[in-house]
Amino acid sequence: MDITEELRKIVGGRLSVSPSELYCYSSDASQVKGMPDYVVRPKSTDEVSNIVRLAYENAIPVTARGAGTGLAGGAVPVGGGIVLDMSGMNRILEIDIDNIQVVVEPGVIQDALNDALKPYGFFFPPNPGSSAMCTIGGMIAYNASGMRCVKYGTTRNYVRDLEVVLADGTVIHTGSKMLKSAAGYDLTQLIIGSEGTLGIVTRASLKIAPLPKTRKLVIASFRSAEIAGQAVVKTFSNGVIPSACEILDRVSLQVLKRYDPKLVLPSEGDVILFEVDGTENSAHEAAEQIIEVCSPLAISIKLAESEKEMADIWAARKLVGAAVSRLDPTKTRIYVGEDVGVPIKKIPELLRKAQEISEKFNLPAMKYGHIGDGNLHLALFIDVLNKDEWDRLNQAADLVHRTAIELGGTVSSEHGVGAARAEYMEAQWGPALEVMRAIKKALDPKGILNPGKLGL
């Protein structure tokens, strides 16, 4: 069978086989590489179903891809085969305010969805740093979250129904528009976070939330990242749940001040950004409580003075990972060991151990992330032409992952496992990994859906 010709019958000119175009789909934002044999750009569920059925009949690997912003190689075709570029399926199909939900195709960009919802006074809360680029399908595949999941939860808290193409081309729905259901297995939750290894999402019904009336931002500086972590634990134990709670260590502060010298941030220490939202009264009361709780531990603490000041700080925070070259143009941030998470009370210990690892391997590091839910992003940066630095980097990343597991945490809180962290799945899950493999085998007996991912 001429696979190229069969694919062309399904999608016409939306097929790429030239080496230069295939190369563009050989990586994401991670260090993982893999060259596809075909890139197909479907426009409908029927096309996806026909493509996957053809692949199943011929035992051809299929890897779904959104915007390629992933950091773990999840959308990289490590086994070759077909890449399904889902970015063309990008329609908002329904905004159903009466039922507090929307129906979208997987290629819809996160920010575009929120722009469409804003006039109605609603939003889709998960907000990864790549929200200007990432797709809803990718967010579902990875169970993405972001800065405000400490209050609002992750993507899985907002998905009511998925239309999914299974490995043999069968199309199913996993849920409904109902607020709740006790009928059968929760297939929706099974698909979320499965990274395209169990099926291809072609449509999603998503719960939305009312936009808060106001937001307040408390900016607190501490003598060390470990003390900053203690302040977070103390804040939560006093019953305050921020909408966002972010750490910026002193290296991160240097990066941001070089990126934008006008940013109103402390000049020393390690900083926690506490955001609270709600009504004017409730947000102000929560901010004052945070100031009271954290003041004994802080070097400095203040309330942001304006909406613009808050917006500038959050915009800069989203760019901190990419802006590290401002600190040393000879070094590049490498995305390994950068998405670990631990229980909240273990945050101070994780911060201390991360600093020890950085010093042990003599690698500059930047510690930032969603400390309010225990998610630390450790940014290690090296001279990519220096083999010794690469070796030390890989050793450091390995120790970071194993440290998180030892502390009862995870090797990935929001960026996914993909191929980059697959080797740690057994250490984290033990016998439960065999249950995952059994589910994979049942739904994808030929192993064509995104092979080589999740340690499956």
* Closest to 206 measured CA to CA, from 262, 142, 167, 163: 163
The mean pLDDT of 181-191, rounded to a whole number, is 95
| Strands 200-207, 101-104: pairing kind | antiparallel
| Stated pTM of the model | 0.95
Q: Which residues lie below 8 Å from residue 214, measured CB to CB, with a gap of 6+?
A: 277, 278, 279, 280, 283
C-alpha–C-alpha distance, residues 335 and 332, integer Å = 10
Q: Check whether 402 has a pLDDT greater than 90.
A: yes
Handedness of CA 277, 279, 280, 286 (dihedral sign): negative
Q: Which residues lie below 8 Å from residue 237, measured CB to CB, with a gap of 6+?
A: none
Better-predicted residue by pLDDT, 177 or 113: 113
Q: Check whether 12 has a pLDDT greater than 80.
A: yes
- C-beta contacts of 382-385 below 8 A and 24+ residues apart: 382/331, 382/332, 382/334, 383/330, 383/331, 383/332, 384/332, 384/334
* Closest to 194 measured CA to CA, from 162, 150, 148: 162
C-alpha–C-alpha distance, residues 327 and 314, integer Å = 20
Contact between 360 and 292 under an 8 Å Cβ cutoff? The reply is: no
Q: Residue 111 — very low, low, confident or very high, per pLDDT cuts 50/70/90?
A: very high
C-alpha–C-alpha distance, residues 310 and 21, integer Å = 41
Better-predicted residue by pLDDT, 84 or 328: 84
Percent of the residues in the chain that have a pLDDT greater than 70, as a whole number: 100
The mean pLDDT of 452-456, rounded to a whole number, is 96
Contact between 199 and 151 under an 8 Å Cβ cutoff? The reply is: no
| pLDDT, position 323 | 79
C-alpha–C-alpha distance, residues 409 and 65, integer Å = 28
| pLDDT, position 180 | 87
Averaged pLDDT of the chain:
95
222: which strand partners?
Answer: 270
Interval 277-290: pLDDT, tens: 999 999 999 999 99
| pLDDT, position 178 | 86
C-alpha–C-alpha distance, residues 204 and 141, integer Å = 12
| pLDDT, position 361 | 97
* Closest to 107 measured CA to CA, from 130, 81, 86: 86
Interval 203-231: pLDDT, tens: 999 999 999 999 999 999 999 999 999 99
Q: Which residues lie below 8 Å from residue 387, measured CB to CB, with a gap of 6+?
A: none
| pLDDT, position 377 | 93
Q: Check whether 291 has a pLDDT greater than 90.
A: yes
Interval 312-366: pLDDT, tens: 888 888 888 777 777 888 888 899 999 999 998 999 999 999 999 999 999 988 8
Interval 125-156: pLDDT, tens: 998 989 999 999 999 999 999 999 999 999 99
Q: Which residues lie below 8 Å from residue 165, measured CB to CB, with a gap of 6+?
A: 45, 48, 49, 52, 171, 199, 200, 202
Tokens of 299: 């070097």
CB burial of 10-30 (b: ≥16 within 10 Å; e: otherwise) equals bbeebbbeeeeebeebebbbb
* Closest to 293 measured CA to CA, from 353, 186, 220, 243: 220
Q: What values do phi and psi take at 360, rounded to 5? A: -60, -40
Better-predicted residue by pLDDT, 98 or 326: 98
